[in-house]
Amino acid sequence: MSAPSARNEVSGYAGDRRPASVAELVEGSPFIGYGYAYPHKTAYRLLPRPRSLAEVWAGEDRSRASLYVHVPFCAVRCGFCNLFTQKHPPAELPGRWLDTLSAQIDAVADAIPDARFARWAIGGGTPTLLEPAALERVFAELERRWPIDFAATPGSVETSPETVTDERLAVLEARGTERISIGIQSFFAEELRALGRPQAVSLGEQALDRIRARRFPVLNIDLIYGIAGQTPASFTAAIDRALAWAPEQLYLYPLYQRPLTGLGRRERSWDDQRLACLRAGRDHLRARGYVQVSMRMFRKPGAAETGAEAGAGKPDYCCQADGMIGLGVGARSYTRALHYSEDWAVGSAGIREIIGAWIDRPPASLGEARYGFELDADEQRRRWLIQSLLQSEGLALADYRERFASEATSDFAELGELLDHGLLERAADRLIPSDRGLEWADAIAPWLYSDSVRAASRDFELR
């Protein structure tokens, strides 16, 4: 059964028909689907056999992986959200989840004892929905099995206005968390209501005050554009409100209507509004000295660099080249040749079912990959290409050549079309997205998906 949407959840094209050319692509919408990773989880399936993680990671560089812990709980679920998260979990559920997480850490560490991490992140969901003692236990369980110096390694934690308390922030500060990311989305009550986010504006402002009262080098604020009734002027006004806290990073997210979410039931076209807001927000931030890193991310000059951008003295990490160890139901892990996770859902019933099944898993099975996507040589090249073109630094042709012993422009004729239409520009031995190319990143990425990924995503039963 295909996803219940006029547009496929991943490929984004009506009837799943891929535009035949860039000329046809740019006649459509720039807002096809949130491009951030390849392949999307809707391409994952049960593997032919369960594979031990010792086998999966045997040929990988384990010296600079990324560590991610997914906390699948939220106090509320916003109308636009399709993240893997359960709202209002029963009181005992986070504790049971944490017990299973502990067992998973043991199983994964037994399989990959020599893993070392170049960065770490705790996301969700809302990690700070956990009580302070439970949040501290997450850190303690991780360092029980791996020699992690959290303070010396770039680390990020997601939070929300309703869960930012001094007690939780104290735990994160004591652990040396470098980056706090908070989803404010808007500073205007009418826009928050339109998003289906029951949050007082003052709650977000108070949360930002609490964060800034502590020693976190990087504050990221998420804002959304494309909200009903929003204009470019009101969006830049929201950005100005955010700038009052001098965030080191801002993420500007387009609003998407996704199946099985609160806003997914609404049908209207608002591409012009979103594009106008994106351009206004981009130009507004650039005029204030912020640097555009991707379609969504803007960084304040001089701010501490995090994650893949970690500077001197910190372990290097490259999203395209290095692997991720994901822990907790809802996390994805990847090596060069295998991406794996648990089953995935968007609807509340499906998420509850998957979380319950994971909590009840036999501990031995937590050290296996059972569900995922195997990347052959073509898919590995394609992933490198897509992940590179989503960033303003673009595709380093020499790095691609060294990795794959071939030329990207020969492997992918589509690059010539993107150059001819001004979506990419050549800068020495690098192909970088133009301003228009970054605007169209969420359409270019799915246009570059392989036929097999597109077919698997089309046939995924969304629940």
**Which pLDDT tens digit goes with each residue over 195-204?**
888 789 999 9
What's the whole-number mean pLDDT along residues 221-236?
96
Q: Residue 294 gets which letter from DSSP?
A: B
Contact 65, 460 (CB under 8 A): no
Mean pLDDT for all residues in the chain:
90
What's the whole-number mean pLDDT along residues 418-433?
97
Q: Specify the pLDDT at position 198.
A: 73
pTM of the predicted structure, to 2 decimals: 0.92
What's the whole-number mean pLDDT along residues 173-184?
98
Collect all residues with Cβ–Cβ distance below 8 Å to 14 and sequence separation of at least 6.
6, 7
The total of other beta-carbon atoms located within 10 Å of residue 410's CB is 8
Of the chain, the percentage scoring pLDDT greater than 90 comes to 81
CA–CA distance, 304 with 312 (Å, rounded to integer): 11
Q: CATH 1.10.10.920 spans which residues of the chain?
A: 1-39+376-463
What's the whole-number mean pLDDT along residues 182-210?
93
Identify the sign of the CA torsion 406, 411, 412, 416.
Answer: positive
Question: Quick one: CATH architecture of 1-39+376-463?
Answer: Orthogonal Bundle (1.10)
What's the whole-number mean pLDDT along residues 257-274?
60
Q: CATH 3.80.30.20 spans which residues of the chain?
A: 46-309
CA distances from 366 to 42, 51, 362, 453, 463 (A): 21, 11, 7, 26, 23
Q: In DSSP terms, which residues pair with 291 in a beta bridge?
A: 299
Evaluate if residue 431 carries a pLDDT over 70: yes
Q: What is the CATH number of domain 46-309?
A: 3.80.30.20
Q: Specify the pLDDT at position 16.
A: 62
CA distances from 62 to 78, 116, 306, 372 (A): 37, 6, 20, 20
